Structure 1
């Protein structure tokens, strides 16, 4: 690909404005939370949109959390500290 065929971007710092999570309550009492984050944002330094406006590249991540109404969950006993070999211990359980 020739250099003239490449668009160069300058990375932009960003900060969240307002809440980054939207919550929904389902009729069975389950809560669904959707969180959107920006992973990387850049503005083109050698290209503009056909209408003359700035051209951005935006990478996002969407995380969905489903929380049952009884707020219960299960996990294998092998993941409980003391039940798994030391090299298989979850990092968040001590």
Structure 2
């Protein structure tokens, strides 16, 4: 994974996309691509005909809070223990109630 850095050369600031890796225990840039000045980057972004959002290829939203809340409520009410008392324990892993 890379990052965007800025370099100051002769009182001008230029932006680069760089990828770094550790070589002999020290971080080194292994790939570097020139992006331009802030003005040229802004000009390129403004001149794009399509917004960035429709170009997203894949997005996945997962919910964790609701499931965790329901499990906590069931555990406090003793529902997990009731299910374990009724059904036999599995040979490995979590119990049926869990």
TM-score by structure 1 length?
Answer: 0.27
Structure possessing the higher relative contact order (Cα contacts under 8 Å, 6 or more residues apart):
1
TM-score by structure 2 length?
Answer: 0.26
Of Structure 1 and Structure 2, the greater helix share is in 2
